[in-house]
Structure 1
Amino acid sequence: MGRLIVRWLLAACALLAVAYLYSGVEVRSFTSALLAAAVIGFFNITLRPVLVILTLPVTVVTLGLFLFVINALLFWAAASVLDGFFVAGFGAALLGSLIYSVLSLLIDQAMRAVFGR
């Protein structure tokens, strides 16, 4: 349980970093970042598998690049349902989700180093 909370807090920090690094994404407060990280995580758990299966032919044809579009749409969708988290448009969602994905990858590596597998 502690690992999940640490991961959630670090994901919120990653969202704040995305907002700092890229002007197309805005996060008003740490509380907004916590809520946004939770909503993005929820969307990734519930909606992403369905979208991946539904768009499998397009994903295969584009050699997996369409997964970036799915990530951007989920990032954008999270911003549309929250008040303190804003994304300027689809292009901003694409770049913001790419930065967030890279930061999440680094967080996962750090979590493995600290907590083990």
Structure 2
Amino acid sequence: MRGLLARLLLNTLAIWIVTLVYPGVRFAPGAGLLDYLVVGAIWGLANAFIRPVLLLLALPLNLLTLGLFTLVVNALVLLLVAAVTPLEVLGFSQALVGALLLSLVSLVLTWIFD
């Protein structure tokens, strides 16, 4: 349970940092701490359950592009999360950059807090 809570907080912190640095991904006006936590939780669930299925379906394209299609899958997951939460993504190209930044920020935060 403690690891799950830590992952939720790291996801939430990573999403918050990306929304501060990149204007293509932002929270809806008036979003509060609870909204941030909900987005972090849904992002974690989407990465745990939906992303592996999408990666399996996209395996031929992923092999053909030597893994670069994973960025597209990450952008699609970010768009999906934005569709059901107060997170706003301005378009697919912004989702692509946002997903890349989110991965990098999450990696750095995991290094720092691990």
TM superposition score normalised by structure 2: 0.90
Displacement of 1:5 in angstroms is 1.2
Equivalent in the alignment of 2:5: 5
Equivalent in the alignment of 2:57: 54
Equivalent in the alignment of 1:88: 90
Alpha-carbon separation, structure 1, partners of 2:42 and 2:11: 11
Alpha-carbon separation, structure 2, partners of 1:15 and 1:50: 22
Alpha-carbon separation, structure 1, partners of 2:102 and 2:51: 16
Question: Matched residue of 2:88: which SS?
Answer: strand
Conserved 8 A contact 2:75-2:92: yes
Question: Matched residue of 2:26: which SS?
Answer: strand
Displacement of 1:16 in angstroms is 1.1
Alpha-carbon separation, structure 2, partners of 1:26 and 1:76: 12
Question: Percent of counterpart pairs with the same letter?
Answer: 38
2:11 is the counterpart of 1:38: no
2:73 is the counterpart of 1:70: yes
Displacement of 1:11 in angstroms is 1.5
Displacement of 1:26 in angstroms is 0.9
For the aligned residue pairs, the C-alpha RMSD in angstroms reads: 1.2
What residue ranges of structure 1 are gaps of 5+ in the alignment?
113-117
TM superposition score normalised by structure 1: 0.88
